[in-house]
Structure 1
Amino acid sequence: MRTDRSGDDKGPSRPSAGRPRDGKIDAAIVQATRDLLLESGYTALSLSAIAARAGTTTAAIYRRWSGKAQLVHEAILPAEVMAMPSASGDVEGDIRALVEATRMMFDRPEVRIALPALIADTVADPDVHSRMTSRFAESLATFRTRMDPGSDPGGDDGDLPMLAEVVVGSAIFRIIVRHDAPLDEAWVDDLTKLISSGWTSLSRGQAPR
């Protein structure tokens, strides 16, 4: 079920074209979003409150984001947080790097607060869902080319997409279902060992270990 949203969160489906975006306004809106998430949570968050805190208008927000879900997603998971690690050539080391990057992505207060309701809103809105999954797809494509240079970045063959699903899915399950369970170094160690023990080489055609 889609979470309740304030009336001022229902704006145009796509940001409108116009003057070049002011980076200072962007940063103020994103910071206000993070701060208000920590103060009042996702459900109570409204674009009017964000605009007031950022010293701007809801119209300015709609010129940049399609609505609350997209704004929150980009505020709690900015591009620098979603960056994938470089491959080292050592399979277990690369798996650990992916698990650690995922921990750093999700183990932050604003993510834990927003994630359950944000997922509900994302699934309920096809346009928002498409925007959100495209961001993860870009990160996965980067990860594929770093760990398996011979792969098709846009393809879904091989083990890499499943690896990403296992790692990210484990983090999301831990946050939503286990709730207070930490994403700590012990989780990184345990998940890395679990995946590595059954992992086949990233080189195509090589038999499992």
Structure 2
Amino acid sequence: MITQTDAPEQASGRPRDGRIDEAVLRATAELLVEVGYADLTWAKVASRAGTTRPALYRRWPSLAHLVHEAAFPQSLTAPFPRTGDPATDVRTMVAGALGAFAHPVARAAAPGLVAAVTADPTLHSALLARFSEALGGIEQPLLDLIAGAALFALLLHPGDLDAEPTRTAWTDRITALLTEGVTA
């Protein structure tokens, strides 16, 4: 079991033990895929991570905040490199959004997070910040279109976008709509 006593004490208090954070995020991701968002609890996460519920409460303001961080880690939402070619950049953003939402952990978390985001302004801000960072400060309407298309496609067609040819074709169609317009 990982406990707070694993970290050395300092005059200003103990530093946060990164091993606990990693174990909790890993446990949350595993449990989301295994039991789903609706059956995820603080107790299950703490038990799987080998820590205590109070350790979780000190780190995340709500279970939904923890799920958000586990489902959309920095590695899934890392900023993409800009090429200077708008069509290429939009395609990269569309493929990245689809990839982030199609990840098994994100897919398991999305339905519950959608409900939680509408009720919690701090969670809403955290989610927007995570995706805005990943997409390099693009215009909010474009962010809405890209993320919305990816999330909605996965919710309406679960499993249909898992195969690479289908995913590529969907990405190409959405990119064309965004870059060429509906009437082109």
2: CA distance, partners of 1:114 / 1:83? 19
Structure 2 residue runs without a partner (length 5+): 1-11
1:195 paired residue number: 178
d(CA) in 1 for partners of 2:111 and 2:84? Answer: 35
TM-score by length of 2: 0.82
Provide, for residues 38-87 of structure 1, a one-character-per-residue CA deviation record: whole Å limited to 9, x for no partner: 11100000011100000001111111111110000010101121122111
What aligned pairs does 1:49-198 form with structure 2 within 5 A after superposition?
Answer: 49-140=44-135, 142-144=136-138, 160-182=139-161, 184-198=167-181
How far apart are 1:114 and its partner, in Å? 1.3
Amino acid paired to 2:144: E
Amino acid at match of 2:151: I
User: Where in structure 2 are the equivalents of 1:3-82 lying within 5 Å?
Assistant: 19-82=14-77
Larger proportion of helix:
2
Aligned-pair Cα RMSD in Å: 2.1
Instruction: After superposition, give the CA deviation of every residue in 1:164-186 in whole Å (9 maximum; x if it has no partner).
Output: 21111001111223334316111
Q: Name the amino acid aligned to 2:155.
A: I
CA distance in 1, matches of 2:98, 2:159: 14
Could you say what secondary structure the match of 2:26 adopts? helix
Report % sequence identity.
40
Deviation at 1:18, TM superposition (A): 5.3
Q: Identify if the C-alpha distance between structure 1 residues 56 and 182 changes in structure 2 by more than 3 Å, giving closer, same or farther.
A: same
Query: Contact 2:94 / 2:150 at 8 angstroms: preserved in 1?
Result: no
Letter in 1 for 2:53: T
Number of residue pairs matched by the alignment: 168
